[in-house]
Amino acid sequence: MNEADVQRQYDAVLASALTSIASDKEMGASFGAFAQRYQSMPEVYDIEFDREAAFADAYAFVAQQEKEAKAAQELAAVQELAAAQQLAAAQELAAAQQLAASTTAALETRERVETFRAVVKANSREVIMRNRLHRRARAVAEKKRTRRRKEAAREVSNAVDS
């Protein structure tokens, strides 16, 4: 950019600033009141209207407005970041609570399964012991029957022989 472009942009910014200031009722009214007082009593104020000073004031006002707007944008960005961080923290907390609940449920299920296995194991031991006792009792009964049959067969054989 050359100097003429810079000057044109500067003049455009200042002109728009003056336009925005003039359109503002409060600022326009105070500027109008000052102008009337100056025209009615020039000896009191005894100043020259400096166009460049007016443009500089307008430029400073616009710069201040831009600075305030930028600060407001930065504040909004910080607030948005804080809200995003709060949302992330809330989601993280919800996930942790869900994990804790599922872990608790898994532990309770595991405890139930272990208890069930212990009961089944105890029951199976009991069943095994009962089956062993029944087998022994059947074996003893079978031996007694076999012994009685043999004795009966001997008696019959002895009776036939005699």
- The pLDDT score that the predictor gives to residue 93 is 94
* pLDDT, tens digit (0-9, with 9 covering 90-100), for 21-45: 555 555 555 555 555 555 554 444 4
Assigned token pair, 35: 């102008």
Contact of 71 with 35, CB cutoff 8 Å: no
* Triad 113, 116, 119: Cα angle to 5°: 150
* pLDDT, tens digit (0-9, with 9 covering 90-100), for 11-22: 776 666 666 655
Amino acid, res. 148: R
- The pLDDT score that the predictor gives to residue 29 is 55
Domain boundaries, the chain: 75-161
- Distance (Å, rounded) from C-alpha 61 to C-alpha 55? 10
- Distance (Å, rounded) from C-alpha 161 to C-alpha 153? 12
Given the structure tokens 């043999």, which residue do they identify? 150
* pLDDT, tens digit (0-9, with 9 covering 90-100), for 76-119: 999 999 999 999 999 999 999 999 999 999 999 989 999 988 88
